[in-house]
Amino acid sequence: FPDLTEVVYNEYLGNINNYDVLPEYLTTKHMGYFENYGFVPYIDDLLFDGDPMYGPLFDSITQKGDFETWKSHVARLWNHSVEVRIAVAASFASPLLHLLNVQPFFVHLNSGQSGTGKTVALMVGASVWGNPANGHYSQTFNGTKASMEYTAGFLNHLPLFIDELQLAKDGNGNLKFSVYDLTEGIGRGRAQKTGGIRKSERWQNVFITSGESELVSAADGAGAFNRVLNIEFLDPIIEDGAETADLVRQNYGWAGKQFVEMIYD
């Protein structure tokens, strides 16, 4: 196809010879601090250029609804429930780890029964930064160790919310991932299909999780225990969970953006 070849060849040469007129874009593959530019995703004209599977997660970290409505409702929860207060405080704490050079750690809401509000408490914490609906910013434990590492690496300095611990256990009741490994802040080196070693993921954030059992056991050792704040409770921690869940699904993302602005100020 000589005509088509000539067109493609000329188009290629045109791109090579016109770098001065081609538009340039600032792109990122992960969230958090972006040296000399600011904090992702709060940078103007920034484009996501990472793994397409994280596109929806990137888009979920945004603002929606009314900040005052969110503040008023969360303030009532804050005064009523220490567990909600911990979840929200841990959410705000995540971008501070990098500045203070602190290792990642887990905050685990543990209730031995359903209907106590632990999932809604996670949603309130997630609504600090983005859409707290399950499958958007909030994730579940129904994934592999590798997927958790990649998600932590993508979020980088933002908190990772994971619900339903029981989904991460095998037939013998053992976790499919290592708390100690995740709190090391660096992923395992893995081979690429095209050859070579894939660059290891890195992160420095807070993991905020929930489940109907404790996250670590005696078999995990002191190192894992020291990196988990286990918050155990029996009584409901949110009086009207349905109302709160609906409100934070409609109003979210403002507090995190303002918090980052305060950090830079």
Q: pLDDT tens across 132-171, in order? A: 998 899 877 666 777 888 899 999 999 999 887 666 666 6
> At 222, is the pLDDT very low, low, confident or very high (cuts 50, 70, 90)?
confident
**pTM for the predicted model, two decimal places:** 0.85
Asked whether the beta carbons of 130 and 253 are under 8 A apart, the reply is yes
pLDDT value of position 180: 81
> At 11, is the pLDDT very low, low, confident or very high (cuts 50, 70, 90)?
low
Q: What is the pLDDT of residues 235-260, one digit of tens each?
A: 889 988 999 999 999 999 999 999 99
Helix (H, G, I), strand (E, B) or coil at 199: coil
pLDDT value of position 51: 86
| pLDDT of 66 over the 60 cut | yes
Dist. CA 158–CA 103, nearest whole Å: 13
Give the residue with greater pLDDT, 259 vs 181: 259
Phi, psi dihedral angles at 101 (to 5 degrees): 55, 50
The span from the first CA to the last CA of the chain, in angstroms, equals 60
Asked whether the beta carbons of 170 and 176 are under 8 A apart, the reply is yes
| C-alpha distances out from residue 104 to 172, 180, 184, 187, 254, Å | 27, 10, 7, 13, 24
Q: To the nearest whole number, what is the mean pLDDT of the chain?
A: 85
pLDDT value of position 191: 47
27-54 average pLDDT score: 90
| pLDDT of 64 over the 90 cut | yes
Among 40, 83, 42, 100, residue whose Cα is nearest residue 234:
83
